[in-house]
Chain A
Amino acid sequence: MTNKPMPEPTPVSAPFWQSLREHRIRIQYSPSAEQYVFYPRILAPRTLVDDLEWREISGLGTLYTFTVGDRPTAPPWSDSLPQLLAVVEWDAGPRVSTEIVNAQPGELKVGMRVQPVFCDYPDDGITLLRYELEN
């Protein structure tokens, strides 16, 4: 168990969380806009077209930005310092909020290649999507 707040999938987002449980990444795609979409929505953002479909992506991407948090962003993270809070830009296009794991703060640089790390929380039925530097 964890005392950190965990996500609760919604009817629309459930396929995303289901794919993470399978250690795969599926996000939405709008054929009319020719764009991947994240986070999951009921209609395509910008156009509001009703054509979103689920597609699997590799989840590989680059480190768009990050910060090294030496003070917890909230009490549940007080024993998880430093927090390596990151934004990853997927090769598929959209950006995703995440944390970097298996790395030293000093080695992080904007633009680095990163790869997914699937972190299972069986008690919560949730898999979180974290990132590490690409091998």
Chain B
Amino acid sequence: MGLRGEAAIIGMVEFAPQRKPTRTPRFSIEQWALLSASALADAGIDASSVNGLIASGISESDRFAPATLSEYLGIPINYGEVVDLGGATAAGMVWRAAVAVELGLCDSVLVMLPGSRDFPTSSRRPAADRGYFGASSNNYGSPQAEFEIPYGNLGQNAPYAQIARRYASEFGYDPRSTAKIAVDQRTNACATPDAVFYGKPITVEDVLASPMVADPIHLLEMVMTCHGGAGVIVANAEVAKRSRNRPVWIKGFGERISYKTPTYAEDLLRSPISQAAQTAFGMAAIGRDEVDVASIYDCYTITVLMSLEDAGFCEKGKGMEFVSSHDLTFRGDFPLNTAGGQLSFGQAGIAGGMHHVCDGARQIMGRSGAAQVSDCNTAFVSGNGGIMSEQAALILQGD
């Protein structure tokens, strides 16, 4: 079972995240077109080989996203897909694209995630009320509407804090260790000019002095939403040959989805990435020690910590020791989120998950500039949606 490793990321685009948008407001289908054109230009190929696309939703239409995009781009496709996995969407899209390529369905697949909510505003229609329910659903019949939201259990901060609190009770908790994750990633952002926190280093003391938002999680251990967008082109070997970039082959993947609200997790502290990573490493037939860079979904520091454990980079319960005893910067012995991660590069909404795909691919292509890890050939990428409830893993490799 698995990929042969014959589909590659050959081009990418990642708009620099912005806290306050200064770019011209664009609809999501317009952002899709702009992202696609940028990624094709990055690969150095034209659109003629494109015959697949994978999207998440689009803002202009609740349904029919692939057909709307195919029509808008003027590109008929053999494979159109919508992936709905929150922060695991990007990783989930990339493996689906690789499968479509290896099955021979597609030569090149556009995999784009618009990440700006700064849309043109209508002069005739009132702006839609985005409400406060976030990733929770308050629709009639939704389990969350009935059993979570009435108690104030909604959003992300509180459930992630509940996970961290349970972790503390089972394994112990060193706030300086989780803070170090944020600090080392900030160091990486300071070597990445596009990062939203470029030029703003922080210390462990800064993290611990930042407001406690949901005990034990501090403000500087949480992502901040930005405007941006990112995407990649996944293509077969023939198209890859024509690309100007070093092909980044998708060698392994795994995906695991098991609940929506963590109250109902079978074991809150053993996250689904354990199965996903096991599948991905098995498929790629490599060991954890062969990974040159890890790009791990980092909505909160506790997510990184538990993902390192559950993906098998260290023993369960020893994550605090692991991050304390390793240099997680691009110069270090365990380069992690080398462009700053979402915590410090910026989280452009749903495109935040694509940051990790781009981080891994950029390192393997040797295009990470001052943050380049020398002799980088293998990347582990993780995606995490919901409250550590839907997770995906990718193994990327250069020749």
Interface residues of A (CB under 8 A from B): 4-10, 13, 39, 64-77, 80, 83, 85-87, 95-99, 105, 109-111, 126, 128, 130
Contacts and interface: CB of A to CB of B under 8 A. Distances in A.
Contact of B213 (A5, A70, A76, A110): A70
Contacts of A110: 165-166, 168-169
B208 to A, nearest CB: 16
B157 A73 contact: yes
Given A4-B152, A73-B157, A109-B169, 18 more contacts: A4-B150, A5-B145, A7-B150, A8-B146, A10-B140, A10-B141, A39-B143, A39-B147, A66-B162, A67-B161, A67-B162, A67-B215, A70-B215, A71-B157, A71-B211, A97-B147, A97-B151, A97-B153
B152 A74 contact: yes
A77 B132 CA distance: 11
Contact of B214 (A71, A75, A126): A71
A99 B133 CA distance: 18
Given A7-B146, A9-B146, A110-B169, A73 B158 contact: yes
A66 B165 contact: yes
B154 A73 contact: yes
A117 to B, nearest CB: 12
Closest 5 CB pairs of A and B: A67-B161, A110-B169, A65-B166, A74-B132, A65-B162
Contacts of B169: 65, 109-111
Dominant secondary structure at the A interface: mixed
Contacts of B133: 74
B212 A70 contact: yes
Nearest to A82: B215
Contacts of A10: 140-141, 146
A6 B150 contact: yes
Contact of B153 (A6, A13, A64, A85): A85
A87 B145 contact: no
B148 A97 contact: yes
21 contacts: A4-B150, A7-B146, A7-B150, A8-B145, A10-B140, A39-B147, A65-B163, A65-B166, A65-B268, A66-B165, A67-B215, A69-B157, A70-B213, A71-B214, A72-B152, A85-B151, A85-B162, A95-B263, A97-B151, A110-B165, A126-B150
A6 B361 CA distance: 46
B261 interface: yes
B220 to A, nearest CB: 14
B51 to A, nearest CB: 39
B157 A97 contact: no
Interface in B162-207: 162-166, 168-169
